[in-house]
Structure 1
Amino acid sequence: MIALETRYGFRFDIRLATHSDEPALADFFAEVTEEDRRFRFLSAVRQVSPSQLHAMTDFDHHRHESFVAFAPESGAIIAAATLAVDPEGKTGEVAISILPDHKGKGIGWTLLDHVAQEARAWGVTRLQSIESRDNRAAISLEREMGFSARAIEGDPALVLLERAF
């Protein structure tokens, strides 16, 4: 477990997600807004399936890891982040979700920074995020962190944000 602090002074703990976290992750995603689930999975998702939860918690430390963030006082999951790396180990993709009542505390910024550090440690040279154009908060945060944005050919609803290390 790693203790992190946001630029706003909010403290939370983070660790790798495990299969035993699947029920808590199901509860977490049930509390995430419908719009945020759509942003996270890039489609309308009413409920995250058991196979999706299993995939999130099935990590290998080289190509895929998911992190869960906890409120220290309650131990409840308040955010989740996933890093998936291509077979060559050079390009990683990140996805982050945060509970609505924990937005605006700097958790997204801090999680993205943590995942970026993890990616660099693996030898990743480029970190990407695919966002809905409607997800202005994520796009703004990623641009603030040095990501550049470009259109995804053939899909006007999505944008690719990318940062080279």
Structure 2
Amino acid sequence: MCTSTTVGVPITITPARREDRALLEAFFERVSPQDLYYRFLTGMKKVDKQRIDAMVRDDDDLSIDFLALDSKTEEILATAILVAENDFETAEFAMCTRDDAKGKGISWALLDHAARYAEAMGVKRIYSLQSAAHSDALQLEQEMGFKVRPSPDDPALKLVEKTF
């Protein structure tokens, strides 16, 4: 899907495919350690082969990864994963955006796409666990109508959710 962000940046949003493996490796090489932590909620220095393999799988009916590509260079600017529970009532999401792509409406467009996709699939609620320190993401999600509250299990995390 070709679109423009709220500030006019042309992007293409597409599901990740097996042939996107090298693009994903290049993307994560450009993601800061802090943003890797925000995406995976663990202190990793590099995204391993198994995680990238899972992102490009096309045989999992419960999970889909979306890529926001620069429409000119076709480089990945941001990724979002959506993982439905078995009953398809609820799905978890997580996102990651390159530092040089922030503040351009890319995360907004990608999260909006993932949320609309989930709703079209019959999902009733999407949620994410976010670091309480990830203020930009929390602000974006609140602006998009997500409710943000403390995680009942970890004071360092916030539970972000939206009901359709």
TM > 0.5 = yes
* CA RMSD in angstroms, aligned pairs only: 1.2
Which of structure 1's runs of 4+ aligned residues deviate more than 4 A?
A: none
TM-score by length of 2: 0.96
**For 1:60 and 1:125, how far apart are their aligned partners in 2?**
23
**For 1:47 and 1:9, how far apart are their aligned partners in 2?**
32
Q: Does structure 2 retain, via aligned residues, the 8 Å contact 1:152–1:158?
A: yes
TM-score by length of 1: 0.95
How high is the sequence identity, in percent, across the aligned residues? 37
| Larger displacement relative to structure 2 (5-14 or 115-124) | 5-14
Q: Deviations over 1:10-40 (max 9, x none)?
A: 1111211012211210110110111000000
| Larger displacement relative to structure 2 (52-61 or 118-127) | 52-61
Give the 3-state SS of the residue equivalent to 1:119 in structure 2: helix
**For 2:135 and 2:63, how far apart are their aligned partners in 1?**
26
**Structure 1: gaps spanning 5 or more residues:** none
* 1:37 match: 36
* 1:120 match: 119
Give the count of matched residue pairs.
Answer: 164
* 1:142 match: 141
* 1:75 match: 74
Give the 3-state SS of the residue equivalent to 1:162 in structure 2: strand
Give the 3-state SS of the residue equivalent to 1:155 in structure 2: coil
| Larger displacement relative to structure 2 (123-132 or 51-60) | 51-60
Matched, 1:64 2:63: yes
**For 2:19 and 2:49, how far apart are their aligned partners in 1?**
12
- Residue pairs, 1:147-162, within 5 angstroms: 147-162=146-161
Give the 3-state SS of the residue equivalent to 2:155 in structure 1: strand
Decide whether aligned partners of structure 1 residues 61 and 8 sit closer, same or farther in structure 2, where only a CA change above 3 A counts: farther
Equivalent residue letter for 2:145: G
* 1:88 match: 87
Q: Does structure 2 retain, via aligned residues, the 8 Å contact 1:62–1:122?
A: no
